Amino acid sequence: MGRFRLFSLYVSVLFLLTAFRAVVSGDRAGDSQIVSDRASLVSFMSGIVSDPRNALQSWNSSDVHVCNWTGVTCNSARSAIVTLDLSGRSLGGTISPAIAGLSKLIIFDLSRNFFEGRIPPEIGSLVELQQLSLPWNLLEGTIPSELGSLRKLVYIDLGINKLSGDIPEEMFCNGSSVLEYVDLSNNTLTGKIPLRDGCELGALNYLLLWSNRLVGPVPPALANSTRLKWLDLESNMLSGELPAGIVHKMPRLQYLYLSYNNFVSHDGNTNLGPFFSALANSSNLQELELGANKIGGEIPANIGNLPRTLRQFHLAENLIHGSIPPQISNLINLTLLNLSSNFLNGTIPTELCRLQGLERVYLSNNSLSGEIPSALGDLPHLGLLDLSRNKLSGLIPDSFANISQLRRLFLYKNQLSGMIPPSLAKCVNLEILDLSHNRLSGTIPDEVAGMRSLKIYLNLSSNYLHGALPLELSKMDMVLAIDLSSNNLSGTIPSQLGSCIALEFLNLSGNMLEGPLPFSIGQLPYLRALDVSSNHLIGAIPQSLQASPTLKQLNFSFNGFYGNVSDDGAFAALTEDSFLGNSGLCGSIKGMKACKKRRHYHLIIVPILLSLVVTPIFCVFGYPLTLRSKIRQKLASFSKSDMVVEEKQESKEHRYPKISYRQLMEATGGFNPSSLIGSGQFGHVYKGVLQDNTRIAVKVLDSKTAGEIPGSFKRECQILKRTRHRNLIRIITICSRPDFKALVLPLMSNGSLERHLYPSHKLDQGLDLVQLVSICSDVAEAVAYLHHYSPVRVVHCDLKPSNILLDDDMTALVTDFGISRLVKGDDEDVPPYDLASFCSTDGLLCGSVGYIAPEYGMGRRASTQGDVYSFGVLLLEIVTGVRPTDVLFDGCSSLHEWVKSHYPHNLDPIVQPALSRCSTSSMSEYLRKACCEVIVELIELGLMCTQYAPSTRPSMMDMAHEMSTLKQYLSDSSSQEMEATSSKR
């Protein structure tokens, strides 16, 4: 801290000298107001303790007029500062009360930085202030009541901080009527919404209070905000009746989010009608979320009177009963309908099938009965249909084959009967098919068994299926899990299942399968769990299973297996519970009977006769053999001890080399700013050279900021130590002291992907399309490894261009695991397709602005789907050349929405600029077409990954496969282009 104080004193002296010169020279900057403003800025700077990008370098120059300082804007006369915008500059420190000296300030924006401490109440003296933006920082404490003095304030955003306490009433009830935008979301604010009778916020357009701890009802005074467009009160503890009387007076309302509270309906929680009637006036309503409350009653017929502009409707996880009214068909623009986890009964109305724009339908976990309407097959855009956990009966409609966009089909835990329609194979985009726990009969159709589109899982368990396992199952080379358990399947297990190379979970238990277990099953490279219990299998258990490096869960119980089973390899952690009911098995598994040595009892005369013959022979030949055997045993013991010594020596060699703090100081020139090559939320990265000329990058963790995430240093060390992949950064060593923690990594000569996407000099050549696709493929492989194959399953949480480094060969390496999360282990009861995760750093939003998955903003924990979203943003960023944080989206809220608005009929404004990244300027029409196809494919993949609902996104294994395919296609096209060019010569 002494350095910072000395620096501040130096700046102050420099300012006084500069001001004195200005007065002497008669410069207009000598006017009293601008001189005062400059002094206030200098004092404000004293609170900034971290400026990794040197954003405020101009503030230190006596030759630069204060109106030309970074982030500073003056009025037209250059007599006063009216704007201070330092957003997104990675500044750290506290907000100095000296800011109050800028008496003419209109805009004050410190968003997306690392400011901590309290909001100074002195801001309340900035009477001209119209915009106050402090979101995405580390601010804590209460909101100062003095902010209520800002009568001209139009826009206030304090979201995504650590603010606590009650919202001061003065903010909303200060006699001002100009406030249009209020965002206090994602803090830990408590108490009621402070809007008493008589308070008028007539100009209010946006009120965002989601993810706090607010209680009580929605205040009636909010009805005075008749211009409100966006009301988000989600994820609080609000209660009372749904605010019908309030929203009735909001004709401009577009987005209403009330989910995850304790609201009830009218008339003693029995009547939703008044609330829906009140919303009929909101003619522009687009999204209505009422999920996870305590709302009771039936869905009233006047749901059909809701505005036809409604696109998303959530009513899941409530106490709704009764049937789905046919009037719902009036919501002709609906794309998402979620009525899951209620008490709905009756049939699925065929009128629902008139909603031609439906993309996602969730009706699961209710008591719906009757047949599935075949008209659902007429919904051209349907991508997800979840009818699971109901009482549906009858056949699975053949018409599902018409839904070309269908990706997820969940029909499990119903009473469906009949055969599995072979026509399902026509759903060429289907990734998940779950028909388990029904009454389906017949054989597994070859067409369905050969669906190569299935990339996540196939579940046909707990039905009445019979017949042999189709050989066509071997065509599912991308599926992660197959569950055919609890059926009546017979015949042998085909060895061709070894072709399902992506398979992680295979469950064939509870059938009548016979014959031996194929050796090829144990050779599946990623198999984690295998269950073949309760069948009629025979023979020895293949050694390939024991040698598998990935298998963790095995069950061979209640079969006819025999032979010796050792506790080596994949069997080391197993007990007898995995081998019950196999009387022919023995071995060293814990609890298993030991194998007996065979002993033969003969007549006495036989050994006597044998001894008469054998003894002379032994005297001639046996003793030398015995002696030789003893010598071999002695040599073997020496060899074994030597091997132990070698193993110990090898273990020592794999320990990290010791590098002292002094050596790191020398290598980086005392962590000189000239050695700084990057900065982030949790520290700085310096380049350096060790005494043996090894070029290194030293990541020094900031003790204060890293402290916000307990164990981040230890977590990053553990992840880097235990993961091995060609596209993950490796660790050289660490340096850890109580006051200093650093990671020592190899220096990547080509820097980060961000540096190449946004070169500092216009003359710098960017990456061509082939290189970009190759880099994306590398990143996808790395993240897929972290999600699916690593010894410790990892969610990266901060995937972005600056965390992707490029080596000498332009191979991409993913780095920065400081805020990563670990996925649940195998010992927990988690379905193979449910990658739920736990978070050791609850309370902090994971990742960087623009790349964070939307569900994280709603309090969801980190998951692999969050990384998929970040990867999707990365793809869209690479294609468009636009940062996701840039406000260039023509009214769209995100890069995803902006790209989606152009897809699929207006892609030229995106594709044409991206084409310039192809390597050759005079490319043929063939190569140009190939590049166009790849660019469009990247756009489609990016949009898939950035879908709002996590369950609809592909896995990173899917993305690794897709990117590898694109990389190969582009490489082949380039090769053909070169061959064609050379042949012409």
Binding residues: 699
Strand partners, 232: 208, 257
Count of Cβ atoms closer than 10 Å to residue 237 Cβ: 13
Count of Cβ atoms closer than 10 Å to residue 704 Cβ: 14
Strands in 282-428 per DSSP E = 287-289, 296-298, 312-314, 319-322, 336-338, 343-344, 360-362, 369-371, 384-386, 391-394, 408-410, 415-418
Phi-psi region of 90 (alpha: psi -120 to 50; beta: other; left: phi over 0): left
Count of Cβ atoms closer than 10 Å to residue 711 Cβ: 12
Helix (H, G, I), strand (E, B) or coil at 804: strand
Q: Which of 531, 798, 816, 867 is catalytic?
A: 798
Measured CA to CA in angstroms, residue 910 lies from 307, 771, 800, 948, 962 at distances of 33, 19, 21, 22, 21
Count of Cβ atoms closer than 10 Å to residue 967 Cβ: 19
Tokens 């009218």 identify what position? Answer: 266
Tokens 């025999």 identify what position? Answer: 562
Alpha helices in 656-807 (DSSP H): 661-667, 703-706, 712-722, 753-757, 769-784
CA distance 790 to 725: 9
Measured CA to CA in angstroms, residue 436 lies from 309, 419, 508 at distances of 37, 13, 13
CA distance 685 to 53: 12
The secondary element (H helix, E strand) that includes residue 115 is strand 114-117
CA distance 788 to 888: 36
Which tokens hold the place of 349? 């109305």
Any catalytic annotation for residue 798? yes
Tokens 């009818």 identify what position? Answer: 387
Tokens 């282990």 identify what position? Answer: 825
CA distance 849 to 162: 17
Cis-peptide into 219, omega within 30 deg:
no
Q: What is the DSSP string of 531-571?
A: E--SSEEEEPPPHHHHT-SS--EEE--SSEEEEEE-S-GGG
From the annotation, which residues make up the binding site for ATP?
699
The secondary element (H helix, E strand) that includes residue 262 is strand 262-264
Helix (H, G, I), strand (E, B) or coil at 208: strand
Which tokens hold the place of 905? 């009929």
Strands 92-94 and 48-50: antiparallel
Count of Cβ atoms closer than 10 Å to residue 906 Cβ: 9
Which tokens hold the place of 392? 């549906």
Measured CA to CA in angstroms, residue 260 lies from 336, 340, 860 at distances of 18, 14, 12
Q: Which residues are within 8 A (CB) of 235 and not within 5 positions of it... i.e. 6 or more apart?
A: 210, 211, 212, 259, 260, 261, 858, 859
CA distance 716 to 820: 8
> Catalytic residue positions?
798
